């Protein structure tokens, strides 16, 4: 995406309101169990996980609704759950996110679908999913339930501009219900977006405004493999549009981005920015939510797809399903435009931003320094710090603070310049200044999960350590790149040249 495109999209995004959007689909409760994987079992060649923590999140269509709420929409969710403890947990998560659950129907004959994932962590590296256990029933639902959904959905379709169908092939979204939704929406002039299941026959979705399969789903449904000689995304998209009368086909192609084809018009690839892919879970849901939000505001498909690329790209950089807010997307677009000032924040602004981050269980990392003349050692240090979590806050000594620590000739670069350079680094999420000689007060305001200092602090007191550890966090020491320091650079620059 070019800078001017980003500017045009940002102008549209900043004018978004809070439309009602209907999401219909399979409801899932995601259960995560986290633990340390430090040894193999003596009973079998499998890792032993020492449980540390667990959490629950909404999955499936419920996740799409929560993502829509994070983007500022007013989602109405319709789906099927059981009458069990997992249903109560799921409803509580949805209520907390502000999702309207009036059209969720309970059945005593089916459990609420639940996916339990075992997540291992070894040697303080990235979390890794090791096992998933599914508890569900995927048999087709009976006629009575379909009739109940029809009665509940009809007035809701009438009141919203966009309907999302999120199909995981769990037995609810069969040909009867999908075609009921699509036909009624067509009659009322509504937009229907479909995120399809991994199935070979898309006839249940026939006539939808747009369909958003990923590469694997599209290959199965079209019978065309992109690995075949001369195969192109246009073949997959064109065949799906022709066979099922879709208005638009949007293929999500992982690192390549998304391919958009509208009707019989020539399609185009919309590339995405290179990302550090951490976890693809939830990326498709985030794309669907962003597309729905975009077309609800009348954006053309090309612009909606570009926004979907940005939202999906941010999602894969997080572990698990983490809602991406409208502000985060604005910040990303500002970054594409070359504007870094959004990263430079005051302490009150930072605290507000962290409230949102912590609701989505993002791990906050803090480090600090003078960063007077940025060099390779700084860059490597900050990249190490960012890898320890999801958000890296960089605290920077003010000019007065630096003079107190380094003497009257420092800093070489003023605070505004030092912060601007740091904000230009991808590793830094937010840059904030402090006036004291140590960042202890700032650390207490931020309360990071992880505090990073250089390895030269192995035998020294670390400002803020007690506060961080008292609140359940930890200190990590980062390796230094030998021979790189600002003081040494300044000294060498002052040396007389050899005659």
**Which residues are catalytic, by number?**
285
Answer whether the bond into residue 90 is a cis peptide, omega within 30°: no
| Cβ pair 376, 482 in contact under 8 A | no
User: Which string of b and e fits 79-102 if b means at least 16 CB within 10 Å?
Assistant: bbbbebebbebbbebbeebebbbe
Take residue 442 and report the two structure tokens written for it: 């700032």
Q: Tell me the chain's radius of gyration from C-alpha atoms.
A: 25
Between CA 181 and CA 192 the distance in angstroms is 8
Between CA 88 and CA 27 the distance in angstroms is 12
Between CA 342 and CA 420 the distance in angstroms is 10
Please state the φ and ψ torsions of residue 477, each to the nearest 5 degrees. Answer: -95, 130
Take residue 58 and report the two structure tokens written for it: 């909404």
Q: From residue 70, give the alpha-carbon distance in Å to each of 126, 324, 381.
A: 26, 6, 32
Taking the alpha carbons at both ends of the chain, their separation in whole angstroms is 51
Question: Of 208, 139, 149, which is closest to residue 170 (Cα–Cα)?
Answer: 139
Instruction: Give alpha helix (H) positions in 160-263.
Output: 175-188, 215-222, 233-244
Take residue 450 and report the two structure tokens written for it: 């992880």
């Amino acid at each position: 995406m070019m800078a001017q495109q980003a500017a045009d999209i940002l102008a549209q995004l900043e004018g978004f309101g809070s439309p009602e959007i209907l999401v219909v689909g399979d409801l899932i409760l995601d259960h995560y169990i986290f633990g340390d994987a430090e040894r193999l079992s003596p009973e079998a060649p499998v890792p032993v996980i020492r449980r540390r923590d667990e959490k629950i999140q909404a999955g499936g269509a419920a996740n799409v609704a929560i993502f829509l709420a994070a983007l500022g929409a007013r989602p109405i969710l319709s789906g099927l759950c059981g009458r069990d403890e997992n249903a109560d947990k799921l409803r509580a998560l949805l209520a907390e996110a502000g999702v309207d659950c009036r059209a969720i129907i309970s059945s005593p004959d089916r459990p609420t679908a639940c996916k339990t994932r075992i997540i291992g962590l070894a040697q303080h590296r990235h979390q890794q999913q090791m096992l998933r256990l599914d508890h569900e029933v995927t048999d087709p639902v009976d006629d009575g339930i379909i009739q109940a959904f029809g009665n509940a959905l009809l007035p809701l379709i009438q009141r919203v501009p966009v309907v999302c169908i999120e199909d995981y092939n769990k037995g609810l979204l069969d040909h009867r219900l999908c075609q009921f939704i699509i036909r009624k929406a067509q009659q009322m002039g509504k937009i229907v977006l479909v995120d399809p299941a991994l199935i070979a026959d898309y006839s249940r979705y026939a006539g939808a405004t747009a369909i958003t399969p990923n590469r694997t789903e599209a290959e199965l449904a079209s019978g065309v493999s992109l690995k075949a000689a001369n195969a192109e995304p246009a073949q997959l998209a064109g065949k799906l549009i022709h066979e099922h009368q879709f208005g638009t086909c949007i293929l999500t192609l992982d690192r390549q981005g998304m391919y958009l084809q509208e009707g019989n018009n020539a399609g185009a690839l919309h590339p995405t920015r290179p990302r550090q892919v951490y976890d693809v879970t939830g990326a498709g849901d985030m794309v669907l939510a962003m597309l729905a939000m975009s077309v609800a505001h009348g954006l053309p498909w090309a612009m909606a797809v570009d926004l979907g690329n940005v939202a999906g790209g941010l999602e894969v950089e997080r572990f698990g399903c983490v809602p991406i807010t409208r502000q985060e997307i604005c910040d990303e677009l500002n970054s594409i435009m070359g504007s870094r000032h959004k990263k430079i924040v005051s302490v009150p602004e930072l605290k507000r931003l962290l409230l949102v981050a912590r609701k989505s269980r993002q791990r906050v990392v803090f480090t600090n320094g003078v960063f007077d003349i940025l060099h390779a050692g700084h860059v490597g240090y900050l990249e190490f710090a960012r890898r320890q979590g999801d958000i890296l806050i960089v605290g920077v000594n003010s000019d007065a603070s630096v003079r107190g620590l380094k003497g009257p000739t420092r800093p070489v670069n003023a605070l505004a310049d030092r912060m601007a350079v740091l904000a230009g680094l991808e590793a830094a999420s937010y840059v904030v200044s402090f006036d004291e000689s140590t960042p202890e007060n700032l650390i207490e305001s931020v309360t990071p999960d992880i505090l990073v200092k250089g390895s030269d602090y192995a035998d020294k007191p670390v400002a803020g350590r007690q506060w961080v550890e008292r609140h359940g966090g930890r200190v990590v020491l980062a390796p230094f790149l030998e021979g790189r320091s600002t003081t040494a650079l300044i000294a060498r620059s002052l040396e007389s040249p050899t005659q």
